Structure formats: C-alpha cells, structure tokens
Structure 1
Amino acid sequence: MKIRGDDPVAMKNFILCVQNRVNELKALSGDGEAKINGKRMEFMLETICDIKNNKKKPKEDTVQHTRIKKWLQKLRVEDILIRGLKWSKLLDPDKKGQWWLPGDIASATDNVEEVANSIDKEALEAQKMLDLAAAQRMNTDARRAIFCVIMSGEDYIDAFEKLLRLDLPGKQDRDIMRVLVECCLQEKVFNKYYTVLAAKLCEHEKNHKFTLQYCLWDHFKELDSMPLLRSMHLAKFMAEMVASFTLSLAVLKTVEWSDPQMLSPKKIMHFRMLFEAIFEYPDKVIWNMFTRIAVTPELETLRQGMEFFIKEYVVKTNKKVNDKFKLAKKALNNTEGVLM
C-alpha cells in the first residue's frame, strides 16, 4: 500500500507483471499449476489483488517514522553524504560495540585506556572550541553551537548538514549567517570556505539570503571604525557572494554614493577593494554581475552612483581595471538583460 501511495505507476506495472506471470503458469500443465496452487502463492496473489482493488488499508507511519521522513525532506536527502562509515567497517565480521559511529574508536580497539584517552582528547578539543567561541563574543547557546559547527566542520557540506541538524527554534536560525560572517572577518587570511558555505545555505533556504543582506548592511554602518584587515575580508566576501550570484550588486543600494560627506576615507577604501576584487573575475562573470542590476528601473540611482564611484576612486588609482570598467559600464546599460 505504501508503494501504491508513493508511486502508483510502479505499483501498477508490478501488478501487471505478476498477473502476466500467473497467466503464463496457468497456461502450463503440471508444474505450472502446482506452483500457483500453493498456500503461500495463493495468499500472495490474494494480497496483491486486494492492493489492486484498494481493499487493503495502509498502516499509518509511527510518530518517529514521520519525524524522520520530515527531517530527511527538509535536509534534501539527495545532498546527504554518509560520513565515517566505510565498507570495510560494515563488512568486518569482528566488529564490536557501536561500530556504526564515525571514527575507528569503537571497532578498532579493545583497549579501554586508549578509548578513554581518545574521549578525553575529544572533550579537550570541544572545550577549546567553546573557549574560542567565548573569545569571539558568541554570547548565547545558539551562537556558540553555530560557531562550533562552522569551525569544526570537515568541509562545507559537513558543516551545512550539521547546521541543519541544529534545528534552531524561532528566529535563532538568523544567527547562522551572522556568526558565519563574523568567523570570516576574524580570520587572519581570507578563507573561501565561508563563502561556499554561505552560498550553500542561501541556496537551501532563501531566508538566509535576506539575513545575509541585513548583516552586510549592518557591517556597512561600522566601516568607519572597522580595522583594515576586517574590511578587506568583508570586501572579498561580498565579491564572492556576488560573483556566485548568491547576492546581486543591489545589496549596495543602501550606500550613499553621491554624498561626499557620507563617503569617508575608510568607506572609499572598502568599496574600492570590493570593486577591485570584482574586476579580478573573468569578463563573462563581470558582465553578468552588472547586467543583473541593469534591468531594474528602481536601481537607476545605484547604477549611476556605482559608475561615478568606480570612475573616480577605482580607475584613477588603478589603470589596470580600465578595460574591466568599460565592460561593466556597458553591462549597466544592458537594459535587455542579455547574459553572456
């Protein structure tokens, strides 16, 4: 009945195959009739007939089963990677204990002292991570949990899956993007891991995209007091987000491009670094980035302001980007929205 509900076509094909096979056996004499006259076969055929005629009532899923199904649907099971469980461990006839857990502790050792040392080591690492979270001003349980997941992920997929499993209540999931950006800005060297993870989160849930926009706008307000390294990381982060088409250049609409008093030296430096980072991408990417904001009439002020800023503060100080600027300028006038 479950197959009938989930995939009626497959169930129909299955029943037709069974019926055809039964008819073939009936056409045979002797052994064929004996095969279909057995009690087991008779019961099976009656059950299939009942399913076909919708006489069998499906059993309702248990609460736990339903919860798991919803969780898998939310998690998008096609993107899940099973980690830590290897074929060698699965097929090992001598496996003991909780062999399904990640790592080789449970199955590879019988030494209690060695297991205890491994647990102590993991506990110490967890405590170090919590101390680091406290040092980074992660002042709530949710933020500390998010921080630990992001910083301890094997890769962006691992971190992404673990962040989804946090199942943060209410609006606490908004902290994910804020913590992620903060982690990125705190690094000594810019790390694209954060941009790839951010893009994955935005792809999965559009609310993360809105949170990221508001987060960036909040950081724009702090540019005058922001250290240079932090400002540079923010510029590179934004360039990556725009180049991956996770965000568009419309995120810059809150910037007062035409007001010289609002464009302080630190803000000029920040946005100059942003556009220089953008102009490092291939022509096709640059064209598509600027074309995305060319088709929206409401962004005319932004287009004019960006064009003025790039010409005045980027091209004049860096002649190498002149050709890229010409391409961007042409893309800003691409009102038909034709992409490369």
Structure 2
Amino acid sequence: MSAEDYVDGFDKILWLDFSGKQDQQIMRIIVDCCLQEKTFNMYYMVLASKICNHDKNHKLILAPGSIQGVRYNGVEMLNRSMNLAKLAAEMLVNFSLSLATLKVVNLANPVEMTPKRIMHFQMLFETLMQTDDALVWNVFTRIAGIPELEILRDGIVLFIKQHVIAKDTGKELPGRFKIAKKALDNAAGVLM
C-alpha cells in the first residue's frame, strides 16, 4: 500500500521472496486491501494482474471458491462486494482471469445462490457487460466449446437472464447479453 505505483508495488512484493504457503497470501492481501477501499481502486487490479502474469498460480487464489472466506459486515458489505465484483470483472476484461474460474460456483442453484451471492454476481456481470462489444465477446468466447464447461455456460446464461437482464430497463445490457450468449456458443473460439 505504500508503493508509488503498481511497478513499485510489484517490485516490493518480489523483493519479499515468499515461498510456499506464504506466497499464496500475497493475492489474498491484495484482495483484502482492495476490499478496504471506500470505492474501487484500479491500482489493485493492475497489481494483481501483474502478479498473475508473473506467476500463473496466483490466478487460483482469485477463484471465487478461494476468496469466499472474505467476510462482510453491515453497511460495508455492499462496498466490499462491489469492490470484489469490480476487481474480478476488470481481471476478466484484461484476461488475467477467465470465466472458467466460476466453475466452482453453481450460478443456477437457488440454494447456493443466497441473496448476498446473487447481489455480488449481479454486480460482476453488470460491470463486465458494460464494457465494449468486442471485450464482451472475447471474455465469454474464452469458455465456449469446452465440453467440461457446459454447466458453467448454462448457469451464466440463466443467471444473467434472471438476475441481470430481468432488472435492467435499458437497452445496453440486453444487447450485450445477446453478444455474450452468441460468444458462449462460439465453438470455433473466434475472437473479435
């Protein structure tokens, strides 16, 4: 947090020379710092992306199943959930993460999808789908055509229909949803 910029922050983290389980704490600390902010701070996304690009094992720490231990309390719950959703969406948009990390979450299971989780994933998909058409296409097409991700693709479509599009009164998100749905069916994996 005392770094001048993300390069300085990245250098300081590398200088610590953590190993094993200590190394896994780096990403958790970055996420926790991001969640402490009153509004989303892009610095943490840039730093997390740099670390993920340096060592791919850090992507696993950002998977939803790995960060579910984050606790929300009262009023700050909304800010923390929003910051986490925006961090994940930005990581998806810059391809530091893939939607495949969501395979540990059953978006179509009403028991698993508590109101807090629904709110969190609504914010994630709304943020993701507010980017331009080409980014929406490319993010969603990355999980197209992979047989073991069929349940995830179906869950994403169902979740977005029920919890994102159903509450949206504008035309922007439904249009982006059509692009996302076509991208999920893009078995050839052609990017825009």
2:104 to 254, 258, 271: 254
2:163 to 295, 313, 317: 313
Q: What's the counterpart of residue 206 of structure 1?
A: 56
TM (norm. structure 2) is 0.92
Q: 1:261 to 1:224 in 2, by over 3 A?
A: farther
Separation in 2, partners of 1:306, 1:225: 27
> Which runs of structure 2 are paired with 1:1-340 in the superposition (5 Å)?
151-213=1-63, 216-220=64-68, 227-320=77-170, 321-340=173-192
Equivalent residues, number: 188
**Could you list the runs of 5+ residues in structure 2 that have no partner in the other structure?**
none
Shift of 1:322: 0.5
Q: Which has the larger radius of gyration?
A: 1
Compare the two structures and name the one with the higher helix fraction. 1
Do 1:224 and 1:266's aligned partners in 2 also have CA atoms closer than 8 Å?
Answer: no
Residues 264-323 of structure 1, C-alpha deviation per residue, up to 9 Å, x if partnerless?
Answer: 111111111111000111110000000000021100000001101101111010133100
Runs of 4+ off more than 4 Å: 221-226
Separation in 1, partners of 2:62, 2:112: 23
Question: SS at the partner of 1:268?
Answer: helix
Q: 1:222 to 1:256 in 2, by over 3 A?
A: farther
Do 1:235 and 1:271's aligned partners in 2 also have CA atoms closer than 8 Å?
Answer: yes
Identity score, percent: 53
Tell me: higher relative CO, structure 1 or 2? Use CA pairs within 8 A at least 6 residues apart. Answer: 2
Do 1:223 and 1:267's aligned partners in 2 also have CA atoms closer than 8 Å?
Answer: no
Separation in 2, partners of 1:253, 1:235: 16
Q: What's the counterpart of residue 98 of structure 1?
A: none
Shift of 1:224: 7.7
Separation in 2, partners of 1:275, 1:319: 16
Q: 1:164 to 1:235 in 2, by over 3 A?
A: same
Separation in 2, partners of 1:188, 1:252: 26
Note the aligned Cα RMSD (angstroms).
1.6
Aligned letter for 2:84? L
Separation in 2, partners of 1:305, 1:223: 25
Do 1:224 and 1:264's aligned partners in 2 also have CA atoms closer than 8 Å?
Answer: no
Separation in 2, partners of 1:325, 1:201: 31
Q: 1:235 to 1:336 in 2, by over 3 A?
A: same
Shift of 1:255: 1.3
